[in-house]
Amino acid sequence: MNITALIPAPDVIPHAHACVREDCRIGDRVLLQNGVVVGSDGFGFAREADGRWHKMRQAGITIIEDDVEIQAHAAIDRATIGETHIGRGTKIDNLVQVGHGCKIGEDTLLCGHTGLAGTTRVGNRCILAGGVGTAGHLTIGDGATLTAKSGVPSDVPPGAVYSGYPAIDNLAWRKSVAVFNRLPELQKELRELREEVARLRSDPR
């Protein structure tokens, strides 16, 4: 990987309004679509005693490896300390937020409106479908798939398919959704059964 800083290699294509901030590094054959921001400050604030927010210095960098494509208006924040790292061959869709200190593996897909809180770890060959959101300080194992709009509060095992909020195994989630869709009917049946039990209890025979 021929890492470059500020002045990209000839085969790096930054389209209009793409921005690579100071000290960040970009590999070969990287495509930055319109409005991409690489290396903006991470969202790091600490509450002071008087309730105000103190901005923490964002002293880290962002590294984008070879063959990465980042679609329009995605933001890849720099790390507070250390680096935010996007692995080789990963593709990032429009309006994706990668928080400070995240590490994304190789050949992973982050689809539109995905948001990763700081220090999230995503493995190789994962798929995070549209609108997925993760809490920080968690790990998504290699080959995992998160279906659209999943909310991830904790680690996801390698190879798993998770759905829903809080995200759980996809098969369990589909069974839960099937039950949820029948709740009005089940409530009606339960009310009728209660009435029948009450009638039987009150029958003197």
Summarised one tens digit per residue, pLDDT across range 62-105 is 999 999 999 999 999 999 999 999 999 999 999 999 999 999 99
Of 54, 73, 100, 113, which is the active-site residue? Answer: 100
Whether 30 contacts 68, CB under 8 Å: yes
Q: pTM for the complete prediction?
A: 0.87
Residue 27 has pLDDT above 80, yes or no: yes
Higher pLDDT, 181 or 135: 135
Collapsing DSSP states into helix, strand and coil, what is residue 147? coil
Residue with tokens 């904790």: 154
Confidence of residue 4 (pLDDT cuts 50, 70, 90): very low
17 catalytically annotated = no
- Amino acid identity of 196? E
Q: 20 and 38 in contact (C-beta within 8 Å)?
A: yes
Q: What local confidence, expressed as pLDDT, does residue 202 receive? A: 86
Confidence check: pLDDT of 29 > 90: yes
Average pLDDT rounded to a whole number, residues 138-145: 98
Q: Which residues of 19-56 are buried (b: 16+ CB within 10 A; e: fewer)?
A: ebbeebbbbbebbbbebbbbbbebebeeeeeeeeeeee
Please report which confidence band the pLDDT of residue 9 belongs to, taking 50, 70 and 90 as the band edges: low
